[in-house]
């Protein structure tokens, strides 16, 4: 069994590997990261190669400069031999009661239009009545359960995709967003497995990256839905908590649906 000293000697190398992965994922050079973090490029290089052991604060500064999610900041701290800083509180915990109340308020006030609350893998945590009714009319019941995965609900052949007129636009956008969020460094096995499943549902032509000019759709994605019973044009938007210090809060996503025209507004009111 390796000694404690030997294990500690390997920790900077593990940390350096993780930092290098995040820096590469963000498209940053050592120099640009150093300038953003207020370090020298030499110091960043030494940390990545394991020649320097950074302080706890230095790890946090580098993680902030790389915009690393809180869950992965804890992992970086652990790799450097430090205790985790950011807690992860279950949404149903007593201390999250006020947060749960805020989410319920947002969902209720968004009626008669649909709104849902998702976790980091897009599992459905909460939904208002219009969203629940709309999903029930568009998706095969086998895809719905206590906490269905909304990416699967959209991409699966028996999912919402059957009713989306502008499917290629929606699929390309949603795949790009899923890939950015689930394929980031960090060893997220569940996220990687979900991505692999979604990839199997898509035409390979839709897996190509979106051009930079299409990134504006990250704010509002137009979706045209048509079935025998209804025609609906909506925009979807994603909201997150501003400056959370809890892993659970940072990973929550509130997705809201807005009518794109008066006719769609009337349809959504009838659904509600």
pLDDT at 219 (0 to 100): 60
End-to-end CA distance of the chain: 63
Question: Does the pLDDT at position 207 exceed 90?
Answer: no
> Residue 127 and residue 170: Cα distance in Å, rounded?
21
List CB contacts of 60: < 8 A, sequence separation 6 or more.
73, 77, 85
- CATH code: domain 94-271 is 3.30.450.180
Average pLDDT estimate for 228-238? 92
Superfamily of chain region 4-79? lambda repressor-like DNA-binding domains (1.10.260.40)
pLDDT at 13 (0 to 100): 57
Listed by start position, the domains of the chain span: 4-79, 94-271
Phi, psi values for residue 214, rounded to 5°? -90, -5
Average pLDDT estimate for 241-260? 92
Identify which of 61, 75, 64, 80 has the alpha carbon closest to the alpha carbon of residue 15: 80
pLDDT-derived band at 237, boundaries 50, 70, 90: confident
Identify which of 204, 218, 119 has the alpha carbon closest to the alpha carbon of residue 173: 218
pLDDT at 213 (0 to 100): 47
- The 3-state DSSP class for residue 200 equals helix
Task: List, for residues 46-72, the tens digit of each pLDDT value.
Answer: 999 999 999 999 999 999 999 999 999
Phi, psi values for residue 124, rounded to 5°? -75, 120
Task: List, for residues 109-138, the tens digit of each pLDDT value.
Answer: 999 999 999 999 999 999 999 999 999 999
Average pLDDT estimate for 153-174? 94
Give 159 or 183, the one with higher predicted confidence: 159
pLDDT-derived band at 210, boundaries 50, 70, 90: low
Q: What is the mean pLDDT of the chain?
A: 89
Percentage of the chain exceeding pLDDT 90: 76
């Amino acid at each position: 069994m390796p000694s404690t000293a030997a294990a500690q000697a390997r920790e900077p190398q593990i940390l350096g590997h993780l930092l290098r992965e995040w820096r590469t994922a963000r498209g940053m050079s050592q120099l640009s990261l150093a300038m953003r973090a207020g370090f020298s490029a030499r110091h960043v290089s030494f940390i990545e190669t394991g020649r320097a052991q950074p302080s706890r604060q230095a790890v946090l500064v580098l993680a902030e400069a790389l915009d690393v999610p809180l869950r992965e900041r804890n992992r970086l701290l652990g790799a450097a031999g430090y205790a985790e800083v950011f807690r992860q509180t279950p949404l149903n915990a007593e201390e999250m009661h006020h947060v749960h109340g805020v989410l319920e308020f947002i969902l209720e006030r968004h009626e008669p239009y649909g709104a849902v609350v998702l976790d980091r893998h897009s599992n459905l945590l909460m939904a208002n009545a219009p969203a629940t009714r709309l999903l029930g009319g568009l998706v095969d019941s086998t895809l719905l359960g206590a906490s269905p995965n909304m990416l699967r609900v959209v991409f699966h052949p028996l999912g919402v995709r059957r009713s989306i007129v502008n499917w290629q636009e929606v699929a390309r956008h949603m795949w790009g967003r899923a890939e950015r969020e689930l394929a980031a460094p960090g060893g997220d096995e569940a996220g990687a497995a979900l991505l692999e499943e979604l990839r199997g549902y898509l035409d390979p032509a839709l897996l190509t990256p979106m051009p930079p000019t299409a990134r504006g759709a990250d704010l509002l994605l137009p979706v045209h839905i048509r079935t025998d019973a209804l025609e609906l044009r909506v925009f979807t938007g994603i909201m997150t908590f501003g400056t959370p210090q809890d892993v659970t809060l940072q990973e929550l996503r509130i997705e809201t649906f807005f009518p794109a025209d008066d006719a769609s507004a009337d349809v959504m009111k009838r659904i509600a």
